[in-house]
A and B are shown apart, each in its own frame.
Chain A
Amino acid sequence: SQTIHQWPATLVQPVGSPLSLECTVEGTSNPNLYWYRQAAGRGLQLLFYSIGIGQISSEVPQNLSASRPQDRQFILSSKKLLLSDSGFYLCAWSVDSSFYGYTFGSGTRLTVV
């Protein structure tokens, strides 16, 4: 069966520090991978998506970046965090371009102080 792992679960980082959140998927190959953010009082905002190794599409301009160094690994990074980067970050995967039942990870609560 397919599983998705996301870590860490919670993170408190000072303003200006770097960020690296990792997401891995098991039990499938060539998944579509996504990073979403849920800011306080707001919906899920798509940040990045990837349809293959090294292929990253950005949906929202920001100081975050994403990379896909391996087929089932998706990394969200920042060189210098801002206060506005605080939120709940979710990784998700889907089969090809099907939207039927995205599977989400358990999320990372990031607080920038």
Chain B
Amino acid sequence: DQQVKQNSPSLSVQEGRISILNCDYTNSMFDYFLWYKKYPAEGPTFLISISSIKDKNEDGRFTVFLNKSAKHLSLHIVPSQPGDSAVYFCAAAGEGKLVFGAGTILRVKS
């Protein structure tokens, strides 16, 4: 049973445009959400997070939006750069656990 779902395995975006990565979760006990970025043959690195008491958190080119009623969050990258090409994992924390989605491969074309 996947509690955190990233339904788009991959996304291709032109450099300079907006990248939107989506994530859905099923467990209403999750109260903290994170995005990780992973390059090939490396461990994931923390990118940005949001608490369930907020609906938006911004850090430079990266913004995470949380819609609790829809159990949906999204990561916006504006403007997208070729160096953003990586796998992005959505993660949800709660009940003492951190659960990851399957990841979305983002390719930013120059």
Please give the residue numbers on chain A whose beta carbons come within 8 Å of chain B beta carbons, in ascending order: 6, 9, 36, 41-46, 90, 92, 97, 99-107, 109
Please give the residue numbers on chain B whose beta carbons come within 8 Å of chain A beta carbons, in ascending order: 2, 4, 6, 9, 32, 34, 36, 41-46, 49, 89, 91, 93, 96-103
**Consensus secondary structure, chain B interface:** strand
Minimum C-beta distance from A5 to chain B (A): 11
21 A/B residue pairs, CB under 8 Å, sorted by A: A6-B43, A36-B100, A42-B102, A43-B2, A43-B4, A43-B89, A43-B102, A44-B89, A44-B91, A44-B103, A46-B97, A100-B34, A101-B46, A102-B98, A104-B43, A104-B44, A105-B43, A106-B41, A107-B41, A107-B42, A109-B41
| Contact present for B42 and A44 (CB under 8 Å) | no
**Consensus secondary structure, chain A interface:** loop
> Contact partner of B46 among A9, A102, A107, CB < 8 A?
A102
Complex CA–CA separation, A106 to B42 (angstroms): 5
9 tightest CB-CB pairs across the interface, nearest first?
A104-B43, A99-B93, A43-B102, A44-B100, A101-B46, A43-B100, A99-B98, A107-B43, A104-B44
Contacts of A99 in B (CB 8 A): 32, 34, 91, 93, 98
Complex CA–CA separation, A9 to B93 (angstroms): 28
Contacts of A6 in B (CB 8 A): 43
Q: Which of A43, A102, A105, A107 has the most CB of B within 10 A?
A: A43
Complex CA–CA separation, A104 to B37 (angstroms): 11
Q: Nearest residue in B to A45 (C-beta to C-beta)? A: B100
Complex CA–CA separation, A79 to B96 (angstroms): 29
Contacts of B44 in A (CB 8 A): 44, 90, 104
Q: Nearest residue in B to A91 (C-beta to C-beta)? A: B43
Complex CA–CA separation, A105 to B49 (angstroms): 20
Contacts of A46 in B (CB 8 A): 97-100
Q: Which of B44, B91, B99 has the most CB of A within 10 A?
A: B44
Minimum C-beta distance from A91 to chain B (A): 8
Minimum C-beta distance from B91 to chain A (A): 8
Instruction: Give 16 new A-B contacts, CB below 8 A, not counting A43-B6, A43-B101, A97-B96.
Output: A9-B41, A42-B102, A43-B4, A43-B100, A43-B102, A43-B103, A44-B44, A45-B100, A92-B43, A99-B32, A99-B34, A99-B98, A102-B36, A104-B45, A105-B43, A107-B41
